[in-house]
Amino acid sequence: MMNMGSAWTKSKALPCLLFLFTVFSLNLAAAPWDDKDPAEVEAILDQKFAEGKYSSKGADTCLMCHRKSTKVMALFDGVHGNVNIKGSPMAELQCEACHGPLGKHNRGGKEPMITFGINSPVPTQKQNSVCMSCHNDDQRMVWSGNHHDNADVSCASCHSVHTGHDPISDRKTEVEVCTSCHTQQKADIHKRSSHPLKWQQMVCSDCHNPHGSLSDSSLKQMSVNENCYSCHAEKRGPKLWEHSPVTDNCANCHNPHGSVNEAMLISKPPQLCQSCHASDGHASNPVFANQKNAFNAGQSCMNCHSQVHGSNHPSGKLLQR
Ligand code: HEC
Ligand code: HEC
Ligand code: HEC
Ligand code: HEC
Ligand code: HEC
Ligand code: HEC
Ligand code: HEC
Ligand code: HEC
Ligand code: HEC
Ligand code: HEC
């Protein structure tokens, strides 16, 4: 194919940057076929693929009409617009590698192309299959059938490709994109005690694989506890005296995203402990005669049972040492 307009794309890079900061991944512009029946759009697209009428001049054809859009041109700031990257769309079918064959679209732009994002009438599975045609690798081995796939979240609702800076691929902005949909987690990470997500010292994808995994909640590890041990290795057993809810699931007591209670506890001790342990009998024990406040003050139950994660002390059966 032909030369890409890389010289004059670069000169547009700066104004684009400012523009992109406000655009994020949302595709707000409407295509003329957005209002069409999705089934009709799909049929036309299938027909176009069957006929295989790609443009003879690739991107140059498209840019005859689309070069005025700073958003379109920003493609050349990223990997997908770089002819020199092996396997990049630009090294092959160019724009049509993603948007499908031109067909009769150049007659006034009315015939549909493949468009992306939540407003597109093109079914999510079809949108995603475009991306997966090049990205079906280890990282997305279990994409199919994962929570996001099942909920019709498209690749393009997280990723922007017409940009040199994809906000979700940047640790400084990832959390912002994830929490634009996950409002519960957004609230949690701003609570009194939380993992340092609000300062971008940690990101959602430190714990989750956004492309899906074999564990519940798409964790990078096989279980909640394996996830926690990957950073809190000192909590991994075996201990001489285990506390069974700890070995069972750290989330029995902690909310990994954050909480109003200290140490991200799902509720405050003694209530937390009493949700499993009946308190009657214990308080009337003569041992506590002079320590009436021990149950409520400061460390509460942990005043005495300080080894709540388990004990390695020979006489630590009651998690007191
Ligand atoms: C003769 C002019 C012309 C050519 C050539 C052309 N288009 Fe378009 N295209 C249009 C018009 C007009 C629209 C509808 C108005 C708009 O959204 O810009 C449109 C819309 C689109 C849209 C939807 C935009 C949106 O707002 O969601 C995409 C995607 C698109 N074109 C891709 C392409 C690609 C890829 C090529 C090259 C293979 C191409 N076009 C070639 C005129 C053209
Ligand atoms: C890697 C796949 C890919 C390639 C290659 C690609 N696009 Fe896109 N295009 C997208 C996605 C995804 C969107 C939705 C917005 C976004 O994610 O940035 C989009 C959006 C658009 C839009 C709508 C922009 C708007 O204003 O909302 C137009 C027009 C368009 N592309 C034209 C082109 C043209 C012309 C080319 C070639 C120069 C091209 N695209 C190459 C994937 C691609
Ligand atoms: C024609 C093949 C092709 C298609 C289609 C394609 N990509 Fe890519 N993509 C690539 C290549 C090649 C790279 C660069 C890989 C590398 O550097 O190792 C890449 C890199 C990426 C990256 C990493 C970005 C970066 O800056 O390193 C993301 C995210 C991505 N693609 C998302 C998408 C999405 C979303 C779509 C669909 C809208 C898509 N791709 C469609 C070939 C493709
Ligand atoms: C829920 C948001 C989300 C969705 C949906 C999503 N991604 Fe990603 N993607 C991310 C995040 C976050 C990263 C960076 C962190 C990482 O690599 O895990 C990333 C990284 C990537 C990368 C570069 C690193 C790598 O994993 O190879 C590619 C390529 C990519 N995504 C492609 C895709 C494709 C293709 C789809 C659709 C099948 C998709 N993504 C759907 C969030 C998402
Ligand atoms: C420290 C690790 C960690 C981080 C960081 C993290 N998560 Fe989680 N997330 C988990 C664990 C563990 C679970 C499973 C909790 C359970 O089973 O009760 C989970 C569950 C979820 C769920 C399922 C709903 C639920 O509450 O059970 C969603 C949605 C989610 N996380 C989104 C996010 C988002 C968005 C971010 C970034 C703001 C994020 N997570 C950051 C560990 C983490
Ligand atoms: C476009 C909206 C959107 C974005 C952006 C998004 N998600 Fe989701 N996510 C969803 C939907 C919808 C579901 C499925 C419904 C549900 O379980 O909440 C989901 C489900 C999940 C689940 C599984 C929940 C469960 O029930 O076990 C996790 C974990 C998750 N997302 C993490 C992330 C992470 C991490 C990011 C950023 C990298 C992210 N999401 C970005 C919409 C989104
Ligand atoms: C990617 C690494 C990482 C993973 C995985 C991780 N943590 Fe953390 N955790 C940290 C860091 C870093 C801190 C320290 C935060 C600080 O000092 O502000 C922390 C702090 C904590 C704290 C103390 C918070 C406070 O307010 O005192 C608790 C409780 C905690 N993590 C529980 C968990 C649980 C439960 C899991 C598994 C669901 C987990 N962590 C998974 C890195 C991680
Ligand atoms: C039975 C409830 C319970 C379970 C289950 C639990 N924790 Fe805790 N955790 C606590 C309490 C209570 C505190 C705060 C009191 C203290 O230890 O000083 C705490 C504090 C922490 C802290 C911060 C202080 C410290 O000890 O470093 C981390 C980190 C932590 N837990 C990690 C984990 C991990 C990882 C798991 C799973 C292996 C887990 N917790 C399971 C109750 C629990
Ligand atoms: C999710 C339920 C659950 C929660 C919450 C919980 N525990 Fe436990 N705890 C257990 C179970 C189950 C055992 C094992 C009982 C047994 O072996 O008879 C246990 C054992 C103990 C033991 C040792 C008792 C013995 O006879 O060996 C102590 C002490 C203890 N827990 C204290 C606490 C404290 C303090 C808290 C609050 C920080 C707490 N537990 C929260 C379920 C829980
Ligand atoms: C002042 C110290 C102290 C405080 C505070 C305390 N305990 Fe104990 N706990 C003990 C001692 C000593 C024993 C062993 C004597 C006995 O069996 O009564 C014990 C025994 C236990 C046992 C095992 C025996 C049984 O009764 O089943 C559990 C479970 C337990 N405590 C839970 C808790 C919980 C939950 C709290 C907070 C509501 C708490 N403890 C507060 C000192 C304390």
Query: Within 13 Å and on the Cβ side, how many CA atoms surround 319?
Result: 15
Those residues with Cβ within 8 angstroms of residue 104's Cβ, 6 or more apart along the chain or in another chain: 53, 111
- Say what the pTM is: 0.93
Indicate the SS3 state at residue 42: helix
Indicate the SS3 state at residue 224: helix
**Atom 29 of ligand 3, nearest CA residue:** 159
**Atom 25 of ligand 5, nearest CA residue:** 217
Q: Which comes out higher in pLDDT, residue 215 or 25? A: 215
Indicate whether 93 pLDDT > 80. Answer: yes
Centre of ligand 8 to C-alpha 309, Å, is 6
Kindly state the average pLDDT of the residues 306-318.
96
Indicate whether 188 pLDDT > 80. Answer: yes
Q: Which two tokens stand for residue 53?
A: 């009428």
Q: Residue 293: its pLDDT value, please?
A: 55
Kindly state the average pLDDT of the residues 289-317.
80
Q: What is the mean pLDDT of the chain?
A: 87
Kindly state the average pLDDT of the residues 148-157.
94
CB 25 within 8 A of CB 173: no
- Ligand 8 atom nearest residue 272's Cα: 2
What whole-number distance in Å separates Cα of residue 140 and Cα of residue 150?
14
Ligand 3 pocket, mutate which of 20, 122, 134 (most atoms under 8 A from CB): 134
Task: Give phi and psi for 311, each to the nearest 5.
Answer: -130, 145
Q: Residue 14: its pLDDT value, please?
A: 37
Residue-wise pLDDT for 193-248, tens only, equals: 999 999 889 999 999 999 999 999 999 999 999 999 999 999 998 999 999 999 99
* Rama region for 4: left / alpha / beta (φ>0; ψ in -120 to 50; rest): beta
Residues facing 219 on adjacent strands: 208
Q: Residue 141: its pLDDT value, please?
A: 87
Q: Which range has the worst mean pLDDT, 8-22, 44-58, 151-165, 202-216?
A: 8-22
Domain ranges of the chain: 6-157, 166-224, 237-279+299-321
CB atoms within 10 A of CB 5: 16
Q: Grade residue 84 by pLDDT with cuts at 50, 70 and 90.
A: very high
What whole-number distance in Å separates Cα of residue 9 and Cα of residue 54?
24
Centre of ligand 9 to C-alpha 283, Å, is 16
CA separation (Å) from 226 to 231, 235, 241, 250, 303?
Answer: 9, 10, 19, 10, 28
Indicate whether 29 pLDDT > 60. Answer: yes
Q: Which range has the worst mean pLDDT, 136-140, 191-195, 260-264, 278-282?
A: 278-282
Ligand 8 pocket, mutate which of 207, 229, 276, 308 (most atoms under 8 A from CB): 308
Q: Which two tokens stand for residue 233?
A: 């290795």
Residues at CB less than 6 angstroms from ligand 4: 128, 131-132, 135, 139-140, 143, 148, 153, 155, 158-159, 168-169, 174, 205, 210-211
CB 215 within 8 A of CB 143: no
Those residues with Cβ within 8 angstroms of residue 87's Cβ, 6 or more apart along the chain or in another chain: 134
Q: Which comes out higher in pLDDT, residue 30 or 4? A: 30
* Rama region for 27: left / alpha / beta (φ>0; ψ in -120 to 50; rest): beta
Q: Residue 200: its pLDDT value, please?
A: 85
